[in-house]
């Protein structure tokens, strides 16, 4: 819808930043701008609330503020964003980025484990397939030890669509030497999902989950 596009341009926001402010995914924002999805009263209110806000310094700043608003302990010292994001949308927005602050990535298993009951796993699978994020999504869901029927079904569907191409966990600028080290030292779960990342329990702030202590992200 034109007013969504005008609002984004007027505030100097990228689609990623605008989507985070409104609590929707970037693909959904694109549909809103094209008029392919209705602009709800809730979204209009969010646009008004964020009107006149300064442009975030970076997407990472916005991600940190969004996670703080959701109660992530690792960002308790960060000022909360004015709008509370939808956890599933935030997960997929972060996973779609090529390079993200490692501390933000470390929060993703917490995000899934804490808000699993609120996730629309069908939408997550669809978005993952649309953006070739099957491996990243499946890996994070398994690190978070999803155990609801919807979560387990999502992992199963992502497994069937698993890509052979090697990927990073939002660190595409990883130096060649680091890639080599990651490839040789990653844990079996990361190897299974063709993800280059190192796994240490101490790098994640997570609730107690059975079977999770051996995992974390880069």
Cα 18 from chain centroid?
15
pLDDT-derived band at 42, boundaries 50, 70, 90: confident
Segment 42-56 mean pLDDT: 68
Are 150 and 171 part of one and the same domain?
Answer: yes
pLDDT-derived band at 27, boundaries 50, 70, 90: confident
Domain interval for residue 159: 60-218
Is residue 210 pLDDT above 60, yes or no?
Answer: no
- Select from 12, 31, 55 the last residue of a domain: 55
Segment 201-206 mean pLDDT: 45
Are 78 and 97 part of one and the same domain?
Answer: yes
At 73-85, the pLDDT tens digits run 999 988 888 888 9
Are 34 and 81 part of one and the same domain?
Answer: no
Mention every residue, 6+ apart, whose C-beta is less than 8 A from residue 50. 11, 21, 22, 82, 83
Distance separating alpha carbons of residues 73 and 20, to the nearest angstrom:
20
SS3 sequence, 11-78?
Answer: CCCCHHHHHHHHCCCHHHHHHHHHCCCCCCHHHHHHHHHHCCCCCCCCHHHHHHHHHHHCCCHHHCCC
At 101-148, the pLDDT tens digits run 998 999 999 999 999 999 999 999 999 999 999 999 999 999 999 999
CATH of the domain at 11: 1.10.260.40
How many domains is the chain built from? 2
Are 20 and 98 part of one and the same domain?
Answer: no
Q: What is the pLDDT of residue 205?
A: 46
- Select from 38, 55, 72 the last residue of a domain: 55
Are 126 and 84 part of one and the same domain?
Answer: yes
- Select from 55, 71, 100 the last residue of a domain: 55
Are 41 and 107 part of one and the same domain?
Answer: no
Is residue 43 pLDDT above 80, yes or no?
Answer: yes
Are 3 and 111 part of one and the same domain?
Answer: no
**Matching residue, tokens 């310094």:** 57
Q: What is the pLDDT of residue 170?
A: 93
> Percentage of residues in the chain with pLDDT exceeding 70?
86
Q: What is the pLDDT of residue 48?
A: 76
Are 1 and 44 part of one and the same domain?
Answer: yes
Are 170 and 203 part of one and the same domain?
Answer: yes
Q: How many CA atoms lie within 13 A of 178 on its CB side?
A: 10
At 136-173, the pLDDT tens digits run 999 999 999 999 999 999 999 999 999 999 999 999 99
Q: Are 38 and 99 in contact (CB under 8 A)?
A: no
Is residue 195 pLDDT above 90, yes or no?
Answer: yes
Are 50 and 86 part of one and the same domain?
Answer: no
Q: What is the pLDDT of residue 151?
A: 95
Q: How far lies 183's CA from each of 95, 138, 149, 167, in Å?
A: 20, 18, 32, 11
**Taking phi first (over 0 means left), then psi (-120 to 50 degrees means alpha), and beta for anything else, what does residue 68 get?**
alpha
Is residue 21 pLDDT above 90, yes or no?
Answer: no
Segment 63-71 mean pLDDT: 94
Q: What is the pLDDT of residue 51?
A: 57
Are 50 and 71 part of one and the same domain?
Answer: no
Q: What is the pLDDT of residue 18?
A: 79
Are 144 and 84 part of one and the same domain?
Answer: yes
């Amino acid at each position: 819808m034109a007013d969504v596009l005008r609002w984004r341009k007027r505030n100097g926001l990228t689609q990623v930043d605008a989507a985070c402010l409104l609590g929707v995914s970037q693909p959904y924002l694109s549909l809103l701008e094209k008029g392919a999805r209705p602009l709800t009263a809730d979204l209009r209110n969010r646009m008004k609330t964020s009107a006149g806000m300064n442009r975030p310094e970076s997407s990472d700043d916005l991600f940190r503020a969004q996670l703080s608003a959701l109660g992530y302990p690792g960002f308790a010292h960060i000022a909360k964003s004015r709008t509370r994001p939808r956890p599933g949308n935030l997960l997929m927005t972060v996973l779609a980025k090529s390079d993200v602050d490692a501390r933000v990535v470390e929060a993703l298993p917490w995000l899934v484990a804490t808000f699993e009951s609120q996730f629309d796993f069908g939408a997550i699978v669809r978005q993952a397939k649309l953006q070739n994020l099957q491996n990243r999504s499946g890996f994070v869901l398994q690190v978070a030890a999803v155990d609801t029927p919807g979560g387990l079904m999502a992992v199963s569907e992502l497994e069937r669509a698993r890509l052979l191409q090697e990927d990073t966990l939002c660190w595409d600028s990883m130096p060649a030497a680091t890639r080599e080290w990651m490839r040789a030292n990653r844990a079996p779960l990361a190897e299974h999902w063709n993800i280059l990342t190192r796994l240490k329990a101490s790098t994640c702030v997570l609730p107690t989950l059975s079977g999770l202590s051996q995992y974390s992200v880069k």
